[in-house]
Amino acid sequence: MIHTTTDASPTTSPAWQDGHKGTLETGRDLLADVSLPAAVIHEAPLAHNLAWMQDFARRHRAQLAPHGKTTMTPALFRRQLEAGAWGITLATLPQCRAAFAEGATRLLLANQLVGRANMAIAAELLRAGGELYVTVDGRDNVAQLSEFFAEAGLTLPVLIEVGVDGGRCGCRRDEEVIALAREIAARPGLTLAGLEGYEGVVHGDDPAARIRAYAERLVADVRRLEQEGLLGVAAPIVTASGSAWYDLIAEAFRDGGLEGRFTPVLRPGCYVVHDHGIYREAQRGVLSRRPDLHEGLRPALEVYAQVQSLPEPGLAIVALGKRDIGVDQPPEPLVRYREGGDVETPLSVDGWRVTRQMDQHTFIALPRGTDEGRADDVRVGDIVAFGASHPCLTFDKWRRIHLVDERLQVIDTWETRF
Amino acid sequence: MIHTTTDASPTTSPAWQDGHKGTLETGRDLLADVSLPAAVIHEAPLAHNLAWMQDFARRHRAQLAPHGKTTMTPALFRRQLEAGAWGITLATLPQCRAAFAEGATRLLLANQLVGRANMAIAAELLRAGGELYVTVDGRDNVAQLSEFFAEAGLTLPVLIEVGVDGGRCGCRRDEEVIALAREIAARPGLTLAGLEGYEGVVHGDDPAARIRAYAERLVADVRRLEQEGLLGVAAPIVTASGSAWYDLIAEAFRDGGLEGRFTPVLRPGCYVVHDHGIYREAQRGVLSRRPDLHEGLRPALEVYAQVQSLPEPGLAIVALGKRDIGVDQPPEPLVRYREGGDVETPLSVDGWRVTRQMDQHTFIALPRGTDEGRADDVRVGDIVAFGASHPCLTFDKWRRIHLVDERLQVIDTWETRF
């Protein structure tokens, strides 16, 4: 079973003993009772995104195995599985272990499994009943895995990773894929369960065309493996897709007629809370290619922080640092409230400009006149909601994340498992 | 009491239940038994650094309150306090709470205390017997703190932050410092315990001269507060210094004749594990200014990771990402070992060049010919030690950090409390 923090739980331990960033345990109003900075997920857009992407996969006759590395939040894994996800994708064995311990039993490691200590964790998961798939892309690693799992008396399902020149991992040539499949078939301890790819490393002119071609290559390769009898399982897996080009992958899988004989699996991760930056841009691309998809995803993750100093005209220092929020791009001030104020009366952040970030501080250039005594002037203690990009690098800053409703009341507090 | 992981503890819980990045619990050899990537502290340079900085402070007749935000590792706080540290500096109230829960009772918040939820944590710490100092730099915040702590029946010791034009927080003018001190004296719930500054935001031509002048300003200001009878405690605190210019601050404090009447406090944080980047450069600056200090600090923090793929000639993909190591600068490959190999037979990383990092991967351009079958060729599974900069942004990636001896045997596994 997946364990989540119950509503009562946060109030039972003395606030100063838990050793975490976190809430003031007696309160539930984000604008009054929660120690800030704090990471916050809004329930309404979260629920929308969960349903939206599951529906997207269903309409393309693909399974969904959301990339769990994004959030490493078991409560979100539970929500994803309850919404219909086929499994959870992860990037490391300790991540797989954490997800499995919280109830996710079908795990897709979209990465090579390297190192005997990590193999030992994989063996534990298999022995405990986990369904685990890992990727391979070379003979050396296949030999290492075969030796370890054969010796352990286990069979590890592997997916061959299909890569591109100048990309990341993965076999560059189709002939390498076939040769590696033969190598896997010839060795004990392994079974070939399908193909894996990641289109996020496909670059060049006309990326959409290149990504379509890459997805079609995956489809063609898995058909060839099938024809040559090199696949060791029923309904072998064909999987790709990050959070930017999943529509192209889904279309190619759908149009490749995989249904029935193969298991097409999509693996977006960021969709669950979406984004205020690079993936918002990417989503605009998806919607421009696919006007039938309507609206799309909604950003659900924000970090709330307070103005801590107004040391000179035009400058606000906010208690929000690189320790608190992803910094692939400067965080985006979204809205401001008075501490203890009402969600119905937001204050402006028009013209606010993040000029610098340090470990624990954000510098904001204020528009002229906004700190000079008007009713909506900026005050020390004002609470500012920030959007970030991308979400992976905000989640990993936090051990606890607050789920809030539309009135910014805390519904639940979720633990992360990085 | 400070609780650290005992030698036995890591072996007692099932590996797949703890939900953390971490060790294979049955093994202790970093090159054979530990799930990588992993963050590692080397004991010998750590012990050297602890003694070195404590001796530095002693020789300058200053107290040491290491900045704990760097590591948020209670076992390191204990080592720092055992080495003679006066207290621990922190950046947020949840950090103070975590340090206090682990036995650090004198806490210096080198930051403004903003927000009633954070004030409530401070009140808990004071009621539990903690000695806590926080900074203030404006009338609004002083009013907020006074109202809260007077109502709570507590007295909060505050330090006025002295800032610079274009800097971060802090009063820009000496007259503001004096006016704020009068404000504090006039209000209930607060007592003025001294002055705080941070020279890391002093910039311009001849930074050493500017920083000396800034430190002298702190000394002059605290003397003036003393003369005007505005200080509320015996032996008031004068504190500054990060990890780059601490020598100049220490000299100015020593030469300012503070001894006996004031408590000069230095607050470097990164020194404890030092650095492979910006603070190594800074340390060269310290040693060029102060040849009497000999040798200086030694880098003690590394992240070990494994080659996971050799997908095309000249390219190695290492299982090490932005999730695992600070990326203020690209991580620096230091040395390589065969998995299961011996620390006595390191392999070369000469000419290795980090070209790109993703969340879970590092791309390395290999020198020509190093992946073509020589005895020391690069193989999948090879273990590479990486140095990073700066350490704050590596520590916060980990919930556990391994302490190792010179043979890379794990001595202890420490938990972080971010």
Can you give the CATH number for the domain in which A402 is found? 2.40.37.20
Find the CB nearest B360 among A69, A102, A339: A69
Q: What is the DSSP string of B3-29?
A: ----SSGGGTS-GGGS-SS---TT--B
Residue (of A87, A76, A4, A418) closest to A271 by Cα position: A76
Provide the residue range defining the domain that includes B400. 15-43+298-415
B311 near A CB under 8 A? yes
Residue A260 sits in the same domain as residue A334: no
In a domain, B86, yes or no: yes
From B56's Cα to the closest Cα of chain A, the distance in A is 26
Interchain CB distance below 8 Å, A24 and B360: no
In a domain, A3, yes or no: no
A335 near B CB under 8 A? no
- Residue A11: is its pLDDT beyond 80? no
Q: Which of B168, B171, B328, B362 to mutate to test the interface with A (most CBs of A within 10 A)?
A: B168
Instruction: Examine residue B268 and say whether the peptide bond preceding it is cis (omega within 30 degrees of 0).
Output: no
From B17's Cα to the closest Cα of chain A, the distance in A is 5
Residue B50 sits in the same domain as residue B182: yes
Residue ranges in chain B whose pLDDT is less than 50: 1-27
- Residue labelled with tokens 């910006």: B278
Q: Is the CB of residue B238 less than 8 Å from the CB of residue B195? A: yes
Interchain CB distance below 8 Å, A163 and B311: yes
Burial A12-28 (b: 16+ CB within 10 A, else e): eeebbebbbbbbbbebb
Going along A130-277, which residue ranges are E strands? 131-136, 156-162, 190-197, 237-240, 263-266
Question: Considering only CB atoms, which chain B residues are within 8 Å of A18?
Answer: 97, 101
Given this model, what pLDDT does residue A25 score?
44
Strands lying side by side in the sheet with B131-136: B63-64, B263-266, B237-240, B190-197, B156-162, B131-136, B106-112, B88-90
Burial (CB count within 10 angstroms: exposed 0-12, middle 13-18, buried 19+), residue A260: exposed
Question: Distance between alpha carbon A208 and the CA centroid of its chain, in Å?
Answer: 22
| Among B282, B312, B339, residue at a domain's last position | B282
Interchain CB distance below 8 Å, B138 and A91: no
Written as six digits, the tokens of A61 are: 């006759």
Residue (of A322, A387, A398) closest to A71 by Cα position: A398
Interchain CB distance below 8 Å, B22 and A170: no
Length of chain A: 418
Burial (CB count within 10 angstroms: exposed 0-12, middle 13-18, buried 19+), residue A269: buried
A-B contacts (CB, under 8 Å): 239
Residues near A357 by beta carbon (within 8 Å), at least 6 away in sequence: A320, A321, A322, A327, A330, A331, A363
Q: Is the CB of residue A135 less than 8 Å from the CB of residue A161? A: yes
3 state DSSP class of B88: strand
In a domain, B328, yes or no: yes
From B349's Cα to the closest Cα of chain A, the distance in A is 19
Interchain CB distance below 8 Å, A359 and B310: no
Q: Which of residues 237-266 of A touch B (CB under 8 A)?
A: none
Interchain CB distance below 8 Å, A114 and B308: yes
User: What's the CA gap between A395 and A415, in Å, rounded?
Assistant: 10
Residue B200 sits in the same domain as residue B242: yes
Provide the percentage of residues in chain A whose pLDDT is more than 90.
84
Residue A381 sits in the same domain as residue A411: yes
In a domain, A350, yes or no: yes
Given this model, what pLDDT does residue B373 score?
64
Question: Considering only CB atoms, which chain B residues are within 8 Å of A27?
Answer: 117
Q: What is the DSSP string of A349-369?
A: -TT-EEEEE-SS-EEEEPPTT
Interchain CB distance below 8 Å, B121 and A340: no
Residue B72 sits in the same domain as residue B173: yes
B111 near A CB under 8 A? yes
- Residue A132: is its pLDDT beyond 80? yes
Q: Is the CB of residue A387 less than 8 Å from the CB of residue A299? A: yes
Find the CB nearest B169 among A18, A101, A308: A308
Residue A73 sits in the same domain as residue A135: yes
Written as six digits, the tokens of A367 are: 């528009």
Q: Is the CB of residue B266 less than 8 Å from the CB of residue B239? A: yes
| Among A227, A247, A282, residue at a domain's last position | A282
Residue A209 sits in the same domain as residue A260: yes
Average pLDDT, chain A: 92
Question: What are the residue ranges of helices labelled H in B229-302?
Answer: 246-255, 278-289
User: What's the CA gap between B393 and B385, in Å, rounded?
Assistant: 17
Find the CB nearest A172 among B18, B124, B312: B312
Between A4 and A80, residue with greater pLDDT: A80
Q: Is the CB of residue B399 less than 8 Å from the CB of residue B35? A: no
From A104's Cα to the closest Cα of chain B, the distance in A is 12
In a domain, A292, yes or no: no
Written as six digits, the tokens of A242 are: 């990050």
B380 near A CB under 8 A? yes
From B260's Cα to the closest Cα of chain A, the distance in A is 32
In a domain, A7, yes or no: no
Q: Which of residues 141-180 of B touch A (CB under 8 A)?
A: 141, 144, 163, 165, 167-172
Interchain CB distance below 8 Å, A144 and B399: no
Question: Considering only CB atoms, which chain B residues are within 8 Å of A93?
Answer: 35
Residue B103 sits in the same domain as residue B248: yes
Find the CB nearest B36 among A115, A307, A322: A115
Given this model, what pLDDT does residue A294 score?
81
In a domain, B3, yes or no: no
Q: Is the CB of residue A194 less than 8 Å from the CB of residue A153? A: no
Q: Is the dihedral of CA B226, B229, B235, B238 positive or negative?
A: negative
- Residue A50: is its pLDDT beyond 60? yes
A319 near B CB under 8 A? yes
Question: Considering only CB atoms, which chain A residues are within 8 Å of B310?
Answer: 138, 140
pLDDT in tens, A340-359: 999 999 999 999 999 999 98
In a domain, B362, yes or no: yes
Question: Distance between alpha carbon A298 and the CA centroid of its chain, in Å?
Answer: 15
Written as six digits, the tokens of A119 are: 């193999």
Residue A35 sits in the same domain as residue A83: no
Compute how many other C-beta atoms are within 10 angstroms of the C-beta atom of residue A179.
13
Residue (of B322, B340, B395) closest to A91 by Cα position: B322
Domain count along chain A: 2
- Which CATH number goes with the domain that contains A262? 3.20.20.10
Q: Which of A88, A164, A308, A355 to mutate to test the interface with B (most CBs of B within 10 A)?
A: A308
Q: Is the CB of residue A249 less than 8 Å from the CB of residue A211? A: yes
Find the CB nearest B114 among A128, A169, A306: A306
Interchain CB distance below 8 Å, A114 and B380: yes
Written as six digits, the tokens of B289 are: 């200014």
| Among A222, A254, A282, residue at a domain's last position | A282
Find the CB nearest A124 among B16, B21, B163: B16
Inter-axis angle of helices A246-255 and A43-59, nearest 10: 30
Residue B173 sits in the same domain as residue B221: yes
Residue B123 sits in the same domain as residue B262: yes
Where does residue A402 fall: left (phi above 0), alpha (psi -120 to 50 degrees), or beta otherwise?
Answer: beta
Interchain CB distance below 8 Å, B309 and A339: no
pLDDT in tens, A305-339: 999 999 999 999 999 999 999 888 899 999 999 99
Residue (of B77, B81, B118) closest to B99 by Cα position: B77
Written as six digits, the tokens of B114 are: 């903003």
What residue type is assigned to position B302 of the chain? E
From A396's Cα to the closest Cα of chain B, the distance in A is 7
User: What's the CA gap between A354 and A161, in Å, rounded?
Assistant: 40
3 state DSSP class of B261: coil
What separation in angstroms does the CA of B266 have from each of A168, A384, B199, B347?
A: 45, 32, 11, 40
B229 near A CB under 8 A? no
Interchain CB distance below 8 Å, B170 and A311: yes
Strands lying side by side in the sheet with A237-240: A63-64, A263-266, A237-240, A190-197, A156-162, A131-136, A106-112, A88-90
Interchain CB distance below 8 Å, A21 and B91: no
Written as six digits, the tokens of A207 are: 């990326």
Burial B364-388 (b: 16+ CB within 10 A, else e): bebeeebbeeeeeebbbbbbbbbbb
Interchain CB distance below 8 Å, A35 and B381: no
Residue A217 sits in the same domain as residue A155: yes
Find the CB nearest A97 among B15, B34, B91: B15
